[in-house]
Amino acid sequence: MLIDSSRPSDADIVAWQRAVRGFEANGLLQSHINRVFNAEHALRSFGDSDCYCGVSWGKDSVVVADMVSRIMPNVPLVWVRVSPIENPDCFLVRDSFLSEHSIVNYNEIVLTYSKSDDVGTGRLADGFNQAKAMFGRRYISGVRGDESAARGKRVARWGENTANTCAPLARWSGDDVFAYLVNGKLPIAPAYACTMNGLLDPRKIRIATLGGERGNGHGRAAWEWRYYEREMRELFPDDGRTR
């Protein structure tokens, strides 16, 4: 369920409701039902010893967190976050999920943002190294094969599981992810309804950190300043924008 927020516009909400009808229909397809079955099978095959599940509280990771909490509840859920530039919607999703999944082994590794770092490689890499030291090198992730050509090739060659990694959503589409969330009444970040009055595809929206080089591509900076202007001004007062 979309978490209530004033962030999306009225037109955004109309567009979101239209998209939801499609996601609901997709969830009834046998192809989607088969992908859910295969994802759960991949998790069971991977096993729950000496591993952890990485979460970010974006759409994909909520699906995986729900599956892990049902199938292997002892596996730690670990959010590696870089403070204070986390997308604030992630906290809303986290709190909503944990309120409905109280029996989970939940952990956070918090790193401090430095303007000299590339958030996508430096700080996050440090956090994942800490997670490996704390919980073991084997991990479960929410990556999808359709997010990049490299991931698609990995899936084609190795499938969902390798010795140290499990990607149960490796063969899923964005439609599958939203179908699982919507039909399962799982929390969905308001950011996914922030589609510039329906111009953007919610399946292509990604939420992670705000600002920095990571946020500059494909119009993301303009999107962040439209929907997170207060946070952006607080985090990056020297940006020079006059909005």
pLDDT at 241: 62
Distance CA 224, CA 232 (A): 8
Tally of domains in the chain = 1
Structure-block tokens of residue 163: 């010795």
139: phi then psi, degrees, rounded to nearest 5: -145, 155
Report pTM: 0.91
Q: Which two tokens stand for residue 40?
A: 């759960």
What is the spatial distance between Cα 20 and Cα 36, in angstroms, rounded to a whole number? 19
Task: Tell whether 5 is covered by a domain.
Answer: no
- What pLDDT was estimated at residue 213? 65
Does residue 105 fall inside a structural domain?
A: yes
Residue 222 lies in a domain: yes
Residue 119 lies in a domain: yes
Paired strand residues for 166: 140, 161
Domain contains 97: yes
Q: How far is it, in rounded angstroms, from Cα 14 to Cα 29?
A: 24
**Residue 238 pLDDT:** 76
Q: Which two tokens stand for residue 132?
A: 């490996």
Q: How far apart are CA 3 and CA 178, in angstroms?
A: 14
Asked if residue 39 belongs to a domain, the reply is: yes
Instruction: Look up the CATH number of the domain holding residue 211.
Output: 3.40.50.620
Q: What is the chain's pLDDT, residue by residue, as a tens digit (243 residues)?
A: 999 999 999 999 999 999 999 999 999 999 999 999 999 999 999 998 899 999 999 999 999 999 999 999 999 999 999 999 999 999 999 999 999 998 889 999 999 887 765 554 567 888 999 999 999 999 999 988 776 666 667 767 777 898 899 999 999 999 999 999 999 999 999 999 999 999 999 999 989 789 876 555 568 889 999 999 999 999 988 765 644
Q: What local confidence, expressed as pLDDT, does residue 243 receive?
A: 44
CA Rg, the chain, in Å?
18
Q: Which domain holds residue 160?
A: 10-235
**Is the residue at 227 inside a domain?**
yes
Answer yes or no: is 4 within a domain.
no
How far apart are alpha carbons 87 and 208 in whole angstroms?
Answer: 6
